């Protein structure tokens, strides 16, 4: 800590030590500077950013589509795929597409989605309950958190 000093004096001090004068916090009043090796400073900053990026996890949403008149075997296949996605840690969007006059049977579609959620309830929780979006009814499932 050298305290508040003139810019020229600080630059001269840095030059004497064969180092750089780096503004660490340029928006502060007065600006905060450090005398250090700028190449090493940049390298450490990049390494810190890489480490932070490595620890981030992107949320992946997989989608499963069905119709109102889905058969039992088809539901079983979709459940198997849903379980695989949930075990990978992805969220799953389960959608029922209403075609033509099927819009009159939205209650049946809701029942199919709730039945689907019931079958995967041992590893999934309903994140967003069934809701109509245009000609589709959508429900989101998320993997259960084991504690």
**Structural domain includes residue 83:** yes
Q: What pLDDT, on a 0 to 100 scale, did the predictor assign at position 28?
A: 86
Same-domain check for residues 81 and 131: yes
**Structural domain includes residue 94:** yes
Distance CA 22, CA 81 (A): 54
Same-domain check for residues 133 and 65: yes
What's the CATH code of the domain at 93? Answer: 3.30.110.10
**Lowest-pLDDT choice from 11-20, 123-132, 138-147:** 138-147
The tens digit of pLDDT for each residue in 4-18 reads 888 899 899 999 999
**Structural domain includes residue 20:** yes
The tens digit of pLDDT for each residue in 117-128 reads 999 999 999 999
Parallel, antiparallel, or unpaired for β 124-133 and 136-143? Answer: antiparallel
Same-domain check for residues 29 and 65: no
**Structural domain includes residue 2:** no
Same-domain check for residues 42 and 66: no
Same-domain check for residues 88 and 119: yes
Same-domain check for residues 50 and 97: no
| DSSP-derived 3-state class of residue 146 | coil
Q: What pLDDT, on a 0 to 100 scale, did the predictor assign at position 146?
A: 66
Same-domain check for residues 134 and 72: yes
Provide the domain limits for residue 100: 61-143
- The pTM for the full model equals 0.61
**Structural domain includes residue 1:** no
147: confidence class by pLDDT, cuts 50, 70, 90: very low
First to last CA, the chain: 47
CB 92 within 8 A of CB 116: no
Same-domain check for residues 41 and 106: no
Residue 145 has pLDDT above 90, yes or no: no
**Structural domain includes residue 132:** yes
User: How many domains are contained in the chain?
Assistant: 2
């Amino acid at each position: 800590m050298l305290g508040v000093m003139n810019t020229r004096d600080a630059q001269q001090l840095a030059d004497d030590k064969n180092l750089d004068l780096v503004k660490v916090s340029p928006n502060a009043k007065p600006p905060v500077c450090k005398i250090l090796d700028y190449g090493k400073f940049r390298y450490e900053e990049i390494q810190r950013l890489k480490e932070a990026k490595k620890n981030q996890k992107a949320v992946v949403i997989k989608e499963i589509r069905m119709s109102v008149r889905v058969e039992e075997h088809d539901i079983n296949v979709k459940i198997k795929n849903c379980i695989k996605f949930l075990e990978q840690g992805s969220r799953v969007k389960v959608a029922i597409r209403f075609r033509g006059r099927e819009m009159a049977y939205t209650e049946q579609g809701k029942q199919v989605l709730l039945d689907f959620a019931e079958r995967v309830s041992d590893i999934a929780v309903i994140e967003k309950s069934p809701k109509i979006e245009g000609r589709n009814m959508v429900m989101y499932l998320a993997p259960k958190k084991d504690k």
